[in-house]
Amino acid sequence: MEQTELRGRTVTAALRPVTPKQREAKAARTGGEPTLEFDGRTPYDVYVNASTLHRLQQPISDDPGEMSFLMVSQIMELYFGLTRYELLQAQRMLRADRVWDALAPLRRAGLHLEALNAAWRGLRWMTPADFNRFRDLLGEASGFQSAMYRQLEFLLGLRDPALIRPFRRQPDVYAELRETLAAPSLWDDVIALLARHGFDIPADLLDRDVSVEHEAHPRVEAAWVRIYADDGPENQLRLLGEALTEVAEQFGDWRWEHVKAVQRTMGAKVGSGGSAGLAWLQRSMARVVFPELWSARTSM
């Protein structure tokens, strides 16, 4: 948090905000031509840190295809973080009973996940022979070890405390993952919201150990059946259900695209991180995000 605040102050000082009137006056002086002279770094680079971003690609082989693999992986990491950011915003709104305000970050999260899914297209060229040209050089490096992906999974309610073990020797990362596991997931907060809105949610479900993955409950399912029965425009909970459904569906699509990418490039080989690879991913697909939102549809 301190680093974020320091970065914010530095950027604000360097960017020198201007008003619409100042922009209009400058355009009148320059005849509408763009500014070409600056005292230091361009304001765009100060804000976006583009020069830093483009120094982060450090391939470990001479194979030109590795750059695609590396950069797409980095793009996905950024989208994991952006989606988590939006879901945390939505979570704060829901805890304050601001259902309407939670819809915007949830919808943005769905769109970010859609863009994340599109990133897989940049790897469609990769055959087993293409991947094998640099795969061995990766050692045990694997997407399984993405801390930000784990943060996103935990926030969505897919929780397995064992999966934070790889990060024990990264104290800050490990502490953040433990903190996320100890806090309610987005789905836990949605269930608590339903209880505050008068739905019959058992007390033991509200007071459970949130570090353990939630199991689908018939009372939660029944609540969503009731919510969807009211299709009036003022039913904010129904709109919430649809926004959450989009997030869950897009996240499920990412997991399926991952399965397909592994099938295309590795088949059923052992995964780089030591897992069973394809078989492990296929088993993980059985764990459903926001399960009662899906099961309730059978009774609607």
Arithmetic mean of pLDDT, 189-194 = 98
Model pLDDT for residues 140-185, shown as the tens digit of each residue: 888 889 999 999 999 999 999 999 999 999 999 999 999 999 999 9
Q: What share of the chain is helix, strand, coil (3-state, %, to 5)?
A: 70, 0, 30
Could you tell me which of 83, 105, 99 has the C-alpha nearest to residue 189?
A: 99
The count of structural domains within the chain is: 2
Residue 9: domain span:
2-32+39-52
Kindly report, residue by residue over 88-118, the tens digit of the pLDDT: 999 999 999 999 999 999 999 999 999 999 9
CA angle 69, 74, 77 (to 5 degrees): 130
Structure tokens given for 142:
């694997």
pLDDT of residue 266: 82
In this predicted structure, the answer to whether residue 1 has a pLDDT above a threshold of 60 is no
Tens digit of pLDDT for each residue in 259-291? 888 888 888 776 565 655 677 677 877 889 999
Q: Are residues 23 and 92 in the same domain?
A: no
Which pTM was predicted?
A: 0.90
Would you say 147 and 92 are in contact if contact means Cβ atoms under 8 Å apart? no
Domain check: are 205 and 110 in the same one? yes
18/106 same-domain check: no
Tell me: do 150 and 261 sit in the same domain.
Answer: yes
The two three-digit tokens of residue 145, written as one number:
């070890």
Mean pLDDT, residues 233-247 taken together: 96
Task: Tell me, yes or no, whether 182 lies in a domain.
Answer: yes
Q: Do 138 and 94 share a structural domain?
A: yes
Number of neighbours of residue 129 by Cβ within 10 angstroms: 8
Structural domain includes residue 62: no
Chain center to CA of 167? 19
Distant-in-sequence, close-in-space partners of 104: CB < 8 Å, separation ≥ 6: none
| 258 in a labelled binding site | yes
The answer to the question of whether 135 is labelled as a binding residue is yes
CATH number at residue 151: 1.20.58.480
Instruction: Say if residue 87 is in the same domain as residue 46.
Output: no
Together in a domain, 249 and 212 = yes
- 159 is a domain residue: yes
Residue 163 lies in a domain: yes
